[in-house]
A and B are shown apart, each in its own frame.
Chain A
Amino acid sequence: MDNFQFSSIEKIILTLSTLTCLGSFSYEVWRRFKIVLKGRESLPFDQFGKRCWRVVREVLFHEKVMSGRFWPGLMHGLVFWGFLVFGLITINHFATGFGVPLLSSSFHHAYSYFGIPFAILVLIGIIALAYRRFITRPKYLGKTSPTSGLVAVFIAILMLTYIFGEWDLSPLVWKINWWLHTSVILGFLWLVPRSKHLHLVLAPVNIFFKPFILPDHTPVEIDLEASEEELDNMLASLTKMTMNQALDVFSCVECGRCTEVCPANRGGGILDPKNHFMLDLRDPLMETGDVDVLAQLNVEAGWECTTCQACTDVCPVGNNVEKSDEIRRLEVLVEGKVPQEYQKLFNNLQESGNTEGAFSSPLADSLPRYNSEMEYVLWLGCFARYGLDPDFENSVRSFTKILDAAKVSYGVLEKEHCSGDPANRLGDKLTFSMLRGHNVKELGGAKKVVTLCPHCAVNLGSEYAKYGEINYKVEHHTQVIERLLNEDKIIVEKGEKGKVTFHDPCNLSRMMDEVDAPRKAITSVTNDFMELEESGRKTLCCGAGGGLWWKKETKGRTHLVRAEQVVESGADTVVTGCNFCYGMMKQGLGALTPDDRSAINVKDVADIVAENMITS
């Protein structure tokens, strides 16, 4: 190949076209970065090592790309790893055109023993992906895009011309082949920033900056004593995206995984997070060149969201997909447009500090009152405290039975108010801040808090911490039970009858990242444990999250899809770790279980453990 010479004309053409394409590429990327940089807050560099390791896992190893969609993910992996393998070859390819090849021809030849098989793998990958996109056409991919087709053809040509170029060719044929390869690479440079293929550049960056805390709703600090100007500034900020959010929109690869896992969408709602929460923002961002675009989100879609975070957790390019918080806070705080049932709920929260507008709780009155000698504050939450499902009282008693047996001291707060979960998730940040203020004071002396409600746990923990330091540690009761089992503080036997399965609550699995503790507890009392198809962090929401428990009329079947899966699983008992899931399961299962099957038991982790505890 050393003897192939490029004429000056060729070099001029090559120089001009390379500069044009590189220039256009940089310009397009810069245009988008400029918009990102207008965003609120900053891009985080904390926990640097952890962030880098995540990039390695999710980019290099394709962890998220392959999880859930293994074969397409692997095919994508082949193409991606091909990009890395051919990086050096590509640089050398251009250098050759300028007459200064970097690699000796013997090295180039030796590399081809590795390069050619890899090129074949890339070909297999891209053909499989194109077959899926244009022949099988899974629904969640959405409309077939012509640029995807073009990219597939480009990649195929690149591989073929590479393989072809390794043959002994006549100078003319070699030259034609060389130029073909070159034009496709330049075409790529032109195309990438103008299409979803920009994820090639942005995904690694986006994954690096992705927040660690789920959900990543930014706090809304409300100071009722602030001046009018300060208030106006605060309200104006609510329509502005953060840097991270804007970066997400440009990184989205339109794979549709977020919509595929969305419980609202699967239940027949209109909500389609890929479009409503991501792509709908792309044009406004580009057209206005600014981040002040959140008011353009679809409001109806925003109210359907259960805030389950499945979309965010599944996204392969590291997007924080969910935007219901942005939509709802605008509707509540700026527009004052709130569905009537939620107005009632907010009024109850403001007037009585709980969701039900109640002034007494027989359950709370019957439990020990917390004092500073005690180890734990037992946080009940409105669901248990005011009997949103009266049977759940038994689960609380199961848990206190466990604590008593293990001689762990605990007490409830007399003036426990709602943790603020429904207000927070429904966008009423003012009511949330009132409740937070009250509870932080009540929890003043506490060191450890345990609760059966993961919604409360998330709010008392990571959500409150967004507004200021908290001095207590919040645990979910399954975590305490697991520890008591590990320390042999309670003794159980494997006495549970029938097939047992576990429904992971979103707040516990995705937001608290806890999937082992409940399993450890359940498998210590049964030999017959089975997983649901969607389990662990990939769980499907029961339909009650995001304040939807209080929604009066639901058009879709979001509240039934999960219960249906439990029925189909054939389990005799479904265990949950969340009072809302417990309530939803009980409501859904009764109606969905066929007549010829006996009723499916719904239990909390505390129930199943307490029932199989050996008390001395």
Chain B
Amino acid sequence: MNICVLIKQVPGSEAQFNVSGDGSWIQETELPYEMNESDNYALEEALQIREQKGAGEVVIVSLGPDRCQKVIREALAKGADRAIHINADAPYNTDPYSIASALANAVKDERFDLVLSGLQSDDLGFGQTGVILGEMLGMTTATLVVGTEVQEGKIKVKRELEAGWFQWQTMDLPASLAIQSGLNTPRYPSLKGIMTAKKKEIKKLNFVDICNVDELQSFAGLSVQHAEKQTEMIEGNIDQIVNRLVDVFKNEIRIN
């Protein structure tokens, strides 16, 4: 079973963001980066499926600037076999449709049975790339996947619905699945893995060479919301206090 895992490098969840000077993106220098959380789970799922099946390849595909090498190496160290790195700087890495088409171009000659991606990226959170790519490659697609079970020519997936409901769905292969965090326990790269990863192949492509979308989505402006805390001391007798409280709940916080 050959599996492709889409991996994105995103700013660490505790990082402090600043908007860049022209307001088109965030300042990227000095930010700590990490592997997108749900991608990490997708990778683990891929590695486990491959271990179960005992054969096949896990191939990492990542799109972004040079710094992405870090997460690619990390994925290879965890056990992926090889990687494709599509070099792209902002703003090329902000549009799910163009990203999906670049990815589709990059993997069109591969024969993947499965494409696993994280449910959404922790930075932009469009949650579309995996599905669009699946469509472009003519695969069946599913999102919010919290469990997989590979069968003959098919895959049974467990999807998370609203309000604690789950759905089991059997789909044809090849398939593209968007994986929800928490379905497995991701591993840590072992020292041996880190050493062998150095020798694994990373194929390099350029976004501009393989993307045939002319009009890219762009950001009109980016701003950081400032949440302000307001504290009001309510004074007076009990009736006045209760009245004011009810007023606040009803008209300011709007609790119905």
* Residue in B closest to A228 when the chains form the complex, CB atoms: B195
**In whole Å, how far is B220's beta carbon from the nearest beta carbon of chain A?**
28
Indicate whether B161 reaches chain A with its CB closer than 8 angstroms.
no
A343-B186, A357-B15, A358-B14 are contacts. A334–B32 as well, Cβ < 8 Å?
no
Cβ B193 vs Cβ A336 within 8 A: yes
**In whole Å, how far is A555's beta carbon from the nearest beta carbon of chain B?**
17
Cβ B12 vs Cβ A333 within 8 A: no
Within 8 A of A (CB), among B167-196: 185-195
Chain B residues near A340 (CB, 8 Å)? 185-186
**In whole Å, how far is B195's beta carbon from the nearest beta carbon of chain A?**
6
Within 8 A of B (CB), among A404-451: 430
A224-B195, A357-B12 are contacts. A333–B190 as well, Cβ < 8 Å?
yes
Interface size on A, residues (CB 8 A): 26
Determine, out of A126-134, A346-354, A543-551, the stretch whose residues face the partner at the interface: A346-354
Chain A 333-367 interface 0/1 with B at a Cβ cutoff of 8 Å (1 = within): 11111101001001110011000111110000000
Q: Complex formed: what's the CA distance from A224 to B73 in Å?
A: 14
Q: Complex formed: what's the CA distance from A222 to B78 in Å?
A: 18
Chain A residues near B186 (CB, 8 Å)? 340, 343
- Chain B facing A: main interface SS: loop
Q: Complex formed: what's the CA distance from A346 to B192 in Å?
A: 17
Within 8 A of A (CB), among B1-24: 12, 14-16
Indicate whether B33 reaches chain A with its CB closer than 8 angstroms.
yes
Q: Complex formed: what's the CA distance from A340 to B34 in Å?
A: 14
Cβ A346 vs Cβ B33 within 8 A: no
Indicate whether B30 reaches chain A with its CB closer than 8 angstroms.
yes
Cβ A335 vs Cβ B32 within 8 A: no
**In whole Å, how far is B65's beta carbon from the nearest beta carbon of chain A?**
15
**In whole Å, how far is A57's beta carbon from the nearest beta carbon of chain B?**
41
Interface centre among A231, A232, A332, A336 (most CB of B within 10 A): A336
A224-B194, A235-B192 are contacts. A336–B12 as well, Cβ < 8 Å?
no
Chain B residues near A351 (CB, 8 Å)? 12, 32-34
Q: Which of A222, A336, A359 contacts B188 (CB 8 A)?
A: A336
Interface centre among A224, A352, A357, A430 (most CB of B within 10 A): A357
Chain B residues near A358 (CB, 8 Å)? 14, 16
Q: Complex formed: what's the CA distance from A347 to B11 in Å?
A: 12
Q: Complex formed: what's the CA distance from A83 to B187 in Å?
A: 55
Cβ B12 vs Cβ A338 within 8 A: no
Chain B residues near A332 (CB, 8 Å)? 188, 190
Cβ B12 vs Cβ A334 within 8 A: no
Cβ A336 vs Cβ B189 within 8 A: yes
Chain B residues near A228 (CB, 8 Å)? 195
Q: Complex formed: what's the CA distance from A346 to B191 in Å?
A: 14
A347-B34, A348-B32, A430-B194 are contacts. A357–B187 as well, Cβ < 8 Å?
no
Chain B residues near A222 (CB, 8 Å)? 191
**In whole Å, how far is A539's beta carbon from the nearest beta carbon of chain B?**
32
Cβ A336 vs Cβ B187 within 8 A: yes
Indicate whether B31 reaches chain A with its CB closer than 8 angstroms.
yes
Chain B residues near A224 (CB, 8 Å)? 194-195
Cβ B14 vs Cβ A357 within 8 A: yes
**In whole Å, how far is B150's beta carbon from the nearest beta carbon of chain A?**
23
Cβ B188 vs Cβ A337 within 8 A: yes
**In whole Å, how far is A32's beta carbon from the nearest beta carbon of chain B?**
32
* Residue in B closest to A351 when the chains form the complex, CB atoms: B32
Chain B 100-124 interface 0/1 with A at a Cβ cutoff of 8 Å (1 = within): 0000000000000000000000000
Q: Complex formed: what's the CA distance from A71 to B32 in Å?
A: 58
Cβ B32 vs Cβ A357 within 8 A: yes
Cβ B192 vs Cβ A231 within 8 A: yes
Binding site for B on A (CB under 8 A): 222, 224, 228, 231-232, 235, 332-338, 340, 343, 346-348, 351-352, 356-360, 430
**New A-B contacts (6) at CB < 8 Å, excluding given A334-B191, A338-B188:** A334-B192, A336-B187, A351-B34, A352-B32, A357-B14, A359-B31
**A–B Cβ pairs within 8 angstroms, 22 of them:** A224-B194, A231-B192, A235-B191, A332-B188, A332-B190, A333-B190, A333-B191, A334-B191, A336-B78, A336-B188, A336-B193, A338-B188, A340-B185, A343-B186, A346-B188, A348-B12, A356-B14, A357-B12, A358-B14, A359-B31, A359-B32, A430-B191
